[in-house]
Structure 1
Amino acid sequence: MPESYIDTYYRRSMADHPAYPTLSASHQVDVCVVGGGLAGLSTATECLQRGLKVALLERHRIAWGASGRNGGFVTAGYATGHAQIARRTGEAGAKALHDLSVEGVRIVRENIDRLDLARVNPTPGILRAIRYDDAAGLQAEVAEAKRKFGATLHYLSRESVQEKLKSKAYFQGLYSPDAFHFHPLNYALGLGAAVAQKGGLIFEQSPATAIARKAGGFTVTAAGGKIEAGHVVLCSGGYTDRLSPALHRAYLPIATYMLLTEPIADIARAINTPAAVADDRRAGDYYRVVDGNRILWGGCITTRTADPANLAEIMRRRIVDTYPQLRDLKVAAAWSGLMSYARHLMPQIGRTPEGLWHATGFGGHGMNTTTIAGRVVAEAIAGESDRIKLYAPFGLDWNGGPFGRIAVQATYWYLQAMDAWREKGAHKPHARP
């Protein structure tokens, strides 16, 4: 029996899809992709488009991990800001990386249309709302986005935000018309079907157990068979194991939580916008209305990889704290997923000294970055371009071992405290309404 996906909103609304076989016997291909999330599926798609023969190995089911459990926000940028990127790359390098992230968004849109993917439901617009008063800061951000990147952002006054989000927690906001939100699991399942239709080999429930160098390439072994390939691409994200010690030492598995509500009568008394919503806290909330009357809500960042016993109540409380009028809401499902973070908060896209390509470390900003990762890796393998080198300044930095996790958790708590201090000041009586 094929392994089941965990209970999420996406599993409850997934499109019809095949189960793929487990690996058996030996197969000869040009490229073996390890990991069937969006990075792996995007890499397989791009390699097939270049005439390369591809096999993909997935430990569970395709998009079983964070790729099929996330908020479904597709927007340009990375998990860290432009200024931090420019410190390592210079301004020109940072601008080129931003352009790649924009290209990633465009590729997702093109894939949905080109492949006519079922039940992906792309919906335009992402609204970023802030929980403190800073109209001037947001207006400056609009101008800077236009000047640096030619990007269109719309400033929203507090009155405009309050019309859409009926919560006293929010002040002003920015609306991105070029971003969108969608059903990531159905998107991934559609990519998988397209890979198989084009002759790509997909093997589920087939964890790779060893990679051995050989003349002209590699042998990737899994229970039941092996893949002989000229190139290997590791795309295992937050579930990376010790198959590649260099990758295992270079990422931090970070959990985030999500919740789906039961249907809510007159949901517009709280959320009155088709846009997806996020606040600007470092580990803030992100959410959207699905099915017309349910809320899909995500939030929290933790190095604790096991789910807390009261996960549903933790997330329910976050909703009610923001929207007290929804105090009677009921929970339909709650779940978590592991993201792959690097210490520098940028994707780790490149090649190890042993010759293994890798695309991981997407840090909670993976819908566009997994997609562009697949393209630049495929371009490099096919000898089309060296755009992959733009990510070279963000290599496989050591994750700090157990002290790295402690440092990440301590940083999160510090940022939470700073957010709380800023918001407390914003809501004092002297704060501007």
Structure 2
Amino acid sequence: MTPYIDTYYKQTLSSDAAYPVLSGRHNTDVCIVGGGLAGLTAGFELARRGRGVTVLEARRVAWGASGRNGGFVSPGWAARASQIQKRVGPDHAKALYRLSIEGVAMVEDAIRDLDISDAQVTPGILRVSRYENTKALEEQRDEQEAEYGRHLRLLAREEVRALLLSKKYYQALFDAASFHFHPLNYARALAREIVKLGGSVYEDSAVMQVDLTGTEKKLRTPSGEVRAATVVFAGGGYTDRVLPALRRAFLPIATYVVLSELAPELIATAIRTKAGISDGRRAGDYYRAVDGRLLWGGRITTRTTDPRDIAAVIRREIVTTYPQLADLKIETAWSGLMAYARHLMPLIGPVMPNVWACTGFGGHGLNTTAIGARVVAEAIAGESDRYRLFAPFGFVWNGGPFGTAAAQLTYWAYQGMDFLRERRSAHAK
């Protein structure tokens, strides 16, 4: 059985019980390809509706980015609000944002209803600015209150630096309704619930070949076959080319996370809050204290192989932000591949009759995988057509090697703009 890679989440798994490998022929109502958060939530939503569900996972449940991310659950999409509004208009953009809020509530509801105590929920996300940004944050706070009834608290520079002892930070918005948690334990709980509801979950069962042309869809793995009326493709950055039209619509993008040694007293000289912290840069840092350790993520790259020393790359970010943590040792480092479409929105909708896509959640996946899976399940069950809200964000070609180069250049350009804004704020002191 494929092992989970070494991460904080593997180290704190409640159970590592494996699911069987698919063997022989099986019939089901809906076959879901991909056992990450999108696929598992779709399976859970459909099984609750009485549909027969089979989930095929190439490795382990939530083996990829779903089980090794930062663990932050908050509203929004990977695409910025201004980008979304420019494409679809203000009313449509607001409807999409409300879906993202519903996604947060879905995760909360599942944790409560399924009694997922090992999800280790900690409330509060603090979004900090690395440059003078009071006016923009005030506008964001007021818009959240007026449009969505959400209550964010603006923290002045002095308040931020009482919690985060770094000269890099200016103002922040505190979101008490968002939270951070253990995504791998959460995902495995969804898989258990699918089985309890009569569905099936198979690990180490990669889909090698498909026949999607007939009324009955056929999916073959190395040792078995599933026949289903409906198929949902919910793989992420590790998706192969079994469905070329879908694979061409996103790029696999790597991000990196490290876990420090156990050093609660040293960490407390820098971080004096239990909230999760993220900054406002396009691909900024996100981090949180966990069990007396520091879990810190950041950086993205189009390289799909690990750099020689992930720990050194992220450690420089930590020490640049908090010089007092110069002696903090890194014990574990890992990466994960996310799926990004060119428009930075999920790929949600029909690919062909009774074949659905539910992928492309890179950069903001813990709430968006939930709501994306729900709208697909609603469509399959004939309950709603909310998936049409994603129609303007189609299956656009990722650009191949040119798209990869463009994505990396765009990231570097964002880094440059972030640097200039920080520098201007520093000089304005």
**Which TM-score band applies after superposition, normalised by the shorter structure?**
over 0.9
Q: CA deviation at 1:95?
A: 1.2
Cα distance in structure 2, aligned partners of 1:426 and 1:310? 32
Q: How does 1:17-28 map to 2 (within 5 A)?
A: 17-28=16-27
- Per-residue deviation, residues 66-97 of structure 1 (Å, max 9, x unmatched): 00000000001101122211222222211111
SS of match in other structure, 1:237: coil
- Per-residue deviation, residues 362-397 of structure 1 (Å, max 9, x unmatched): 121000010011111111001011111111111101
* Aligned position for 1:167: 166
- Per-residue deviation, residues 227-271 of structure 1 (Å, max 9, x unmatched): 010000000111111111111110011000000000124122100
Letter of the aligned partner of 1:304 in structure 2?
A: R
Report the TM-score when normalising by structure 1.
0.97
Q: CA deviation at 1:118?
A: 3.5
Report the TM-score when normalising by structure 2.
0.98
| 1:181 equivalenced with 2:146 (yes/no) | no
Cα distance in structure 2, aligned partners of 1:66 and 1:58? 13
Letter of the aligned partner of 1:277 in structure 2?
A: I
* Aligned position for 1:397: 396
Letter of the aligned partner of 1:305 in structure 2?
A: T
Q: CA deviation at 1:141?
A: 1.4
* Aligned position for 1:276: 276
SS of match in other structure, 1:363: coil
Letter of the aligned partner of 1:248 in structure 2?
A: R
Cα distance in structure 2, aligned partners of 1:425 and 1:256? 28
Alignment gaps of 5+ in structure 2: none
* Aligned position for 1:191: 190
Letter of the aligned partner of 1:377 in structure 2?
A: V
Cα distance in structure 2, aligned partners of 1:106 and 1:371? 9
Q: Given that residues 32 and 227 in structure 1 are in contact (C-alpha distance below 8 angstroms), is that contact kept between their aligned partners in structure 2?
A: yes
Cα distance in structure 1, aligned partners of 2:86 and 2:138? 24
Cα distance in structure 1, aligned partners of 2:98 and 2:413? 32
| 1:96 equivalenced with 2:87 (yes/no) | no
* Aligned position for 1:382: 381
Cα distance in structure 2, aligned partners of 1:183 and 1:3? 21
Q: CA deviation at 1:354?
A: 5.2
* Aligned position for 1:425: 424
Letter of the aligned partner of 1:289 in structure 2?
A: A
* Aligned position for 1:349: 348
Alignment gaps of 5+ in structure 1: none
* Aligned position for 1:158: 157
Letter of the aligned partner of 2:280 in structure 1?
A: D
- Per-residue deviation, residues 400-421 of structure 1 (Å, max 9, x unmatched): 1100000010011111111111
Q: How does 1:7-86 map to 2 (within 5 A)?
A: 7-86=6-85
Identity of aligned residues (%): 52
| 1:213 equivalenced with 2:215 (yes/no) | no
Cα distance in structure 2, aligned partners of 1:88 and 1:77? 16
Cα distance in structure 1, aligned partners of 2:130 and 2:86? 28
Cα distance in structure 2, aligned partners of 1:194 and 1:213? 28
Cα distance in structure 1, aligned partners of 2:358 and 2:58? 17
Cα distance in structure 2, aligned partners of 1:422 and 1:86? 24
Q: CA deviation at 1:152?
A: 1.4
Cα distance in structure 2, aligned partners of 1:136 and 1:218? 54
* Aligned position for 2:254: 255
SS of match in other structure, 1:22: coil
* Aligned position for 2:286: 286
Q: How does 1:257-336 map to 2 (within 5 A)?
A: 257-266=256-265, 267-291=267-291, 293-336=292-335
* Aligned position for 1:142: 141
Structure 1 runs of 4+ aligned residues shifted over 4 Å read none
Q: CA deviation at 1:144?
A: 1.7
- Per-residue deviation, residues 313-346 of structure 1 (Å, max 9, x unmatched): 1111111110000100111100000000010011
Q: Given that residues 240 and 247 in structure 1 are in contact (C-alpha distance below 8 angstroms), is that contact kept between their aligned partners in structure 2?
A: no
Out of 144-153 and 226-235, give the one that drifted further.
144-153
Aligned residues: 428
Cα distance in structure 1, aligned partners of 2:264 and 2:92? 49
Out of 138-147 and 323-332, give the one that drifted further.
138-147
Q: Given that residues 15 and 118 in structure 1 are in contact (C-alpha distance below 8 angstroms), is that contact kept between their aligned partners in structure 2?
A: no
Letter of the aligned partner of 2:405 in structure 1?
A: I
Q: CA deviation at 1:17?
A: 4.0
After superposition, the Cα gap between the structure-2 partners of 1:265 and 1:179, relative to the gap in structure 1 and judged at 3 Å, is closer
Q: CA deviation at 1:177?
A: 1.0
Q: Given that residues 264 and 293 in structure 2 are in contact (C-alpha distance below 8 angstroms), is that contact kept between their aligned partners in structure 1?
A: no
* Aligned position for 1:237: 236
Cα distance in structure 2, aligned partners of 1:181 and 1:213? 39
SS of match in other structure, 1:15: coil
Cα distance in structure 1, aligned partners of 2:200 and 2:43? 9
Q: Given that residues 229 and 354 in structure 2 are in contact (C-alpha distance below 8 angstroms), is that contact kept between their aligned partners in structure 1?
A: no
* Aligned position for 2:360: 361
SS of match in other structure, 1:32: strand
Q: CA deviation at 1:134?
A: 1.7
Cα distance in structure 2, aligned partners of 1:81 and 1:215? 39
SS of match in other structure, 1:317: helix
- Per-residue deviation, residues 265-316 of structure 1 (Å, max 9, x unmatched): 412210000100000010100000001x210000001001100111111111
